[in-house]
Amino acid sequence: MSKKLLSPIDLLLAPELSSKEIENIFKRYGFEDAVKADKNLQAIVKEPYVRKLLSEVIELLFNMFKDSPDPDMALNNLERFCSAVFD
């Protein structure tokens, strides 16, 4: 039996991912620092309704990050923007 390949949606909706599973998801999309990337992502989705809304577009967003010169910086800047606008 093969194990299901986890996706960025799992970062938002799967409650019990291991640190290795989280790291593998971020690494597939070009992130260097999975721990910081996960902190940034979780800071964006503090509220359940935001988590649900972002789950609708996170695959597209992560593909855009992957195509950027620095996915870590792209996510960091998104978190900073969301924090400034929504906090």
Give me the chain's average pLDDT, please. Answer: 93
Say how many domains are in the chain.
1
Domain containing 59 equals 12-86
User: In whole angstroms, what is the distance from residue 1 CA to residue 84 CA?
Assistant: 45
Domain annotation covers residue 58: yes
Task: Give the mean model confidence (pLDDT) for residues 39-59.
Answer: 93
**pTM for the full predicted model:** 0.89
Domain annotation covers residue 51: yes
Least confidently predicted of 45-49, 50-54, 83-87: 83-87
